[in-house]
């Protein structure tokens, strides 16, 4: 059966009817006027946040420009007629440069994939907010 300790816990829970709890935690605190003002202002600025999500600075174009720079530098060094020691060192440096360029391209592709995911999530959030609020 129930022990006195368990019975006291049950009685205490029943007596706390004014304190509404959910399964996870207590009810959230009511919003202050400042919280409501901040929320209204953030809704007005929602579209400006989209510029960040859509990556307005064109990463793909920047990476392509850097790749062309590396390719041109490689061709220029290979066309130069310096002595053999400098050519060997230059080729070693250019291989490192080309490797870094491939890493840049790979990382940029991953970033662009994540930017597309962020943009889709951003649009989903906008649609959800628009059901209840005026979002600009």
Q: Quick one: tokens of 83? A: 């002595």
Those residues whose C-beta lies under 8 Å from the C-beta of residue 54, and which sit 6 or more positions away, are 115, 119, 122
pLDDT value of position 65: 87
CA distances (Å), origin 91, targets 40, 77, 102 = 59, 8, 16
Q: How far apart are CA 95 and CA 91, in angstroms?
A: 6
Q: Quick one: tokens of 105? A: 């391209």
- Return per-residue pLDDT of the chain as tens, 136 residues: 445 555 555 556 555 544 555 445 566 677 788 888 887 788 777 777 777 667 666 788 888 888 888 888 887 777 666 666 677 888 888 899 899 999 999 999 999 899 889 889 999 999 999 898 887 7
CA 17 to chain centre: 42
pLDDT value of position 38: 84
The DSSP result for 23-43, as a single string, is: SSSBPPPPPPHHHHHHHHHHH
pLDDT value of position 18: 47
pLDDT value of position 106: 94
| Three-class secondary structure of residue 66 per DSSP | helix
- Tell whether pTM > 0.75: no
Each residue's pLDDT tens digit, 123-136: 999 999 989 888 77
Q: How far apart are CA 105 and CA 67, in angstroms?
A: 8
pLDDT value of position 17: 47
pLDDT value of position 15: 56
């Amino acid at each position: 059966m129930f022990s006195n300790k368990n019975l006291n816990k049950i009685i205490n829970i029943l007596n706390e009817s004014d304190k509404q709890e959910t399964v996870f935690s207590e009810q959230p605190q009511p919003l202050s006027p400042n919280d409501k003002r901040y929320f209204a202002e953030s809704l007005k600025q929602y579209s400006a946040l989209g510029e960040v999500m859509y990556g307005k600075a064109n990463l793909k174009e920047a990476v392509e420009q850097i790749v062309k720079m590396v390719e041109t530098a490689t061709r220029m060094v290979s066309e130069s007629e310096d002595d053999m020691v400098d050519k060997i060192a230059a080729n070693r440096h250019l291989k490192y440069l080309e490797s870094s360029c491939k890493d840049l391209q790979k990382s940029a592709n991953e970033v662009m994939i994540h930017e597309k995911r962020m943009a889709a999530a951003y649009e989903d959030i906008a649609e959800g907010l628009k059901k209840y609020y005026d979002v600009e």
